[in-house]
Amino acid sequence: MKNKKEVTRRDFLKTAAVVVAAGSAKPMAAASPAILSDPSPGSTVHYGFIGTGTEGCSLLKQLTTIPEGRCIATCDIYPPNLKRGVETIGSNPQTYTGGPTNLSLSNSSDYRRMLERKDMDAVLIATPLNRHAQMIIDSLNAGKHVFVEKTMYFKEEEGDQIRKAAEANSKQVVQIGLQRRSSVLYNVAMQMIRKGALGKVMFVRAQWHRNNNWRRPVRDPKLERLINWRMYREYSGGLMAELASHQVDIANWAFGEEPLSVVGTGGIDYWKDGREVCDNIEVIFKYTGGRKMLYSSILYNEHLGFDEQIMGDQGTLIITIGKGMYYREAVAKVSSGPAKENWWAGATVSQAAAQKGMPIFPEEARGEDKGFVDREVLYAKRWLASMGIYEYEEPHDPKWSELSNFMASIRDGKPIACPIETGMADARAVIYGNRAVDTGNTVLWPAKAA
């Protein structure tokens, strides 16, 4: 956030703005517990990193610019990934590997040995999904704070096991890697919903559409299951766990609850290449009050890409990482009794401005024909931002923000951006969603059905 009294137009256009004052839109989960344990405020969090594959290295790259933490160890069962992780973080961590390069749970590799280190405060986990639960529990029991990539866990029963371990180690932070929870843009969107800008929110439509086989190249066929673990049910929840999990969480967040039930379908209908998980899923999550989320993920057309469309009776938000638009519905005004009528007549007013949405980040509208109100809102945002009381940009990649927040939760007791309850709700949606696709049945949330 800039604190300058004056912001030049150039500065302003370079910088994204948000619509609602950030004083009430901090990317924090207010209900989360504040945790303060070792290390103390101001000290450096020493962490180990398990799983330095593609996603792991993506996180490590963000971590290179977060000085509050220092990577002292990395762990991976696949040597090329281990090497890549070391090169990415650049902090000369000790490496842990060994054992056969397979993904079965019996292969514990060396991560437990890594957990024995007393100089390690935290563990970050970005392994295949089937390994998450055991690694979280082991890390907690070893006294470490835990950051785990979404989806939080793989099998239904693992949720309670993790919860028990977390409760037994309640001073340790557990944060789930749903980075939208750390996005200023998404937090602003949720503030807009809470403040009524969308009216009564009844429907969320979301999709993650790609046009590729969702595979990684494998030089040696023996490594197929290691490299392409996402294709196999022994390790993976498929598109639901890897893609939908981000977006179902947005519906949960917007509706303020978990679903009641889910129906769905899907199949291996296009990429018939030996994979075991669907190349397309189409599901409907039902919430209380008839609210629903309609979701699809396909691997044979990418025209729609990925975003979430949150719809209320007074407006729509179309949002994804780095981009958000707000569209108002034309809503009738009803009142009783006579009103003081005073109408205006003048040259025809153009509908152009009314048709266009309002960008949450104003630079999206740059170069377009902006209407009068758009221009003036932009000035208002600029003024508020210049006063230093208004977040008007996504200051960092949300992945950076979530990792920075993790360190701050450990060091300074800041609220956890995505706590265990959020992760468990998300994991349930993934598990039940896949069950609905697999069985063709309506799957009910047990707690809500009771």
List the one residue out of 187, 165, 149 whose CA is nearest residue 415.
Answer: 187
Minimum CB distance to other proteins, residue 277 (Å):
41
With contacts defined by CB under 8 A, name the span among 62-70, 150-158, 202-210, 347-355 that binds other proteins: 347-355
Judged by CB under 8 A, does residue 195 bind other proteins? Answer: yes
- Candidates 15, 16, 19, 324; binder of other proteins (CB under 8 A) is 19
Strand order through the sheet with 443-444: 358-359, 323-328, 315-320, 306-312, 201-209, 292-298, 280-286, 261-267, 443-444
Residues in the chain, overall count: 450
List the one residue out of 144, 181, 165, 168 whose CA is nearest residue 69.
Answer: 144
- Candidates 30, 345, 447, 449; binder of other proteins (CB under 8 A) is 345
Ranges of H-type helices in 169-307: 184-194, 224-227, 238-239, 245-255
| Residue nearer to other proteins on the CB measure, 269 or 376 | 376
Judged by CB under 8 A, does residue 333 bind other proteins? Answer: yes
d(CA 81, CA 54): 8
From residue 184, give the alpha-carbon distance in Å to each of 62, 244, 445: 17, 21, 30
Strand order through the sheet with 45-50: 94-96, 69-75, 45-50, 122-125, 145-149, 174-177
Rg, the chain, Cα only: 24
d(CA 405, CA 28): 9
- Candidates 38, 156, 273, 376; binder of other proteins (CB under 8 A) is 376
Minimum CB distance to other proteins, residue 192 (Å):
7
| Residue nearer to other proteins on the CB measure, 65 or 350 | 350
From residue 372, give the alpha-carbon distance in Å to each of 349, 350, 353, 356, 367: 11, 11, 8, 12, 14
Judged by CB under 8 A, does residue 1 bind other proteins? Answer: no
- Candidates 3, 92, 212, 342; binder of other proteins (CB under 8 A) is 342
The contact mask relative to other proteins for 33-72 (x = CB under 8 A, - = no) is ----------------------------------------
- 243 DSSP 8-state letter: I
With contacts defined by CB under 8 A, name the span among 59-67, 102-110, 245-253, 329-337 that binds other proteins: 329-337
Minimum CB distance to other proteins, residue 15 (Å):
16
- Candidates 38, 372, 439, 448; binder of other proteins (CB under 8 A) is 372
Judged by CB under 8 A, does residue 341 bind other proteins? Answer: yes
Minimum CB distance to other proteins, residue 230 (Å):
40
- Candidates 389, 440, 441, 446; binder of other proteins (CB under 8 A) is 389
Minimum CB distance to other proteins, residue 309 (Å):
18
Judged by CB under 8 A, does residue 120 bind other proteins? Answer: no
Pairing of strands 280-286, 292-298: antiparallel
